[in-house]
């Protein structure tokens, strides 16, 4: 079964606006970690943000925030004040009891000037 | 810069050949992970080493093997290469053995093209 589902293959956003990338996950393990990574066209995989399953507060890192809704098993990434440099592929990922980081299919974000 | 170093950046070879991909983890990290990214399969976990020992195995083909050396660098060996092995191969590292709160930091990847 798919552990991570990203339903948006691609999105367009206007510069300076916010964008929300959807991610749902599937696990029966009470202890798990949720991650978002950014992959620009150059190919490298850049760590953005982490949310633990027991964390009470939503994680934030600069312009990135993670909207964690545990009951709905959703971990959406919000990018505020989008910049041209935010154009990239974004991956949601999870580790649970098997300790392997499983990735979703990714969402391509294109920021328009 | 994640601190994880992968060489080479690009590799072009022919079917049936063997190649070696190299990875140096971040300073202080004991785990090394290998991932394969292809258009049809997405990002697939191949294998993990922790402090020189194999820790977890994913969708790694028998033609592929890896090891982690005493200085903690790792090599991924791909043999009897096929066209379908063309992909971006990532190495990642983390501090511990892995787990729900373990952050993985990725290298820039090695783009393998099998012709």
- Band (pLDDT 50/70/90 cuts) for residue A1 is low
Q: Is A61 at the interface with chain B, CB within 8 A?
A: no
Bridge partners, residue A44, by sequence: none
What distances in angstroms separate CA B115 from CA B16, B19, B38, B77, B84, one per listed residue?
Answer: 10, 13, 16, 18, 10
- pLDDT tens column, A91-100: 999 987 667 7
SS (H, E, C) A7-21: CCCEEEEECCCCEEE
d(CA A42, CA B109): 10
DSSP state of B8: -
For A16-45, b/e burial (b = at least 16 CB within 10 A) is: eeebebbbbbebeeeebbbbbbbbeeeebb
Say whether A102 and B45 touch across the interface (CB within 8 A). yes
- Shortest CB distance from B100 goes to which of A47, A96, A103? A96
What's the mean pLDDT in A71-85?
A: 97
> Measuring CA to CA, which residue among B78, B87, B99 is closest to residue B17?
B78
Assess contact for B93 and B31: CB atoms under 8 A.
Answer: yes
d(CA A59, CA A43): 25
- pLDDT tens column, B53-111: 999 999 899 999 999 999 999 999 999 999 999 999 999 999 988 887 888 999 999 99
For B11-43, b/e burial (b = at least 16 CB within 10 A) is: bebeeeeebebebbbbeebbbbbbbbbeeeebb
Polymer length in residues for chain A: 113
d(CA B54, CA A91): 26
Question: Which residues of chain B are within 8 Å of residue A42 when distances are taken between CB atoms?
Answer: 108
What's the mean pLDDT in A38-53?
A: 94
> Measuring CA to CA, which residue among B93, B94, B84, B86 is closest to residue B110?
B86
Q: In the numeric block, which tokens belong to residue A58? A: 């939503």
d(CA A42, CA A8): 21
Q: Which one of B2, B43, B109 makes the best mutation probe of the A interface by having the most chain A beta carbons within 10 Å?
A: B43
């Amino acid at each position: 079964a798919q552990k991570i589902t990203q339903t948006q293959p691609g999105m367009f956003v206007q510069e300076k606006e916010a964008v929300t990338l959807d991610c749902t996950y599937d696990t029966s393990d009470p202890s798990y970690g949720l991650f978002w990574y950014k992959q620009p066209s150059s190919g490298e995989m850049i760590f953005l943000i982490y949310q633990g399953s027991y964390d009470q507060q939503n994680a934030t890192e600069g312009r990135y925030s993670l909207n964690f809704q545990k009951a709905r098993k959703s971990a959406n990434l919000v990018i505020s004040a989008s910049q041209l440099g935010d154009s990239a592929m974004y991956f949601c990922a999870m580790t649970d009891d098997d300790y392997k980081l499983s990735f979703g299919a990714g969402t391509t974000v294109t920021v328009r000037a | 810069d994640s601190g994880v170093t992968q060489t080479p950046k690009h590799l072009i070879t022919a079917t049936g050949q063997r190649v070696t991909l190299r990875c140096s983890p971040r300073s202080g990290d004991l785990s090394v992970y290998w991932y394969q990214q292809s258009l049809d399969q997405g990002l697939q976990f191949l294998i993990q080493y922790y402090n020189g020992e194999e820790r977890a195995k994913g969708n790694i083909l028998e033609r592929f093997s890896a090891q982690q050396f005493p200085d903690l660098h790792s090599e991924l060996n791909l043999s009897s290469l096929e066209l379908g092995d063309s992909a971006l191969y990532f190495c990642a590292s983390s501090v511990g053995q892995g787990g729900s709160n373990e952050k993985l930091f990725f290298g820039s990847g090695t783009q393998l093209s099998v012709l």
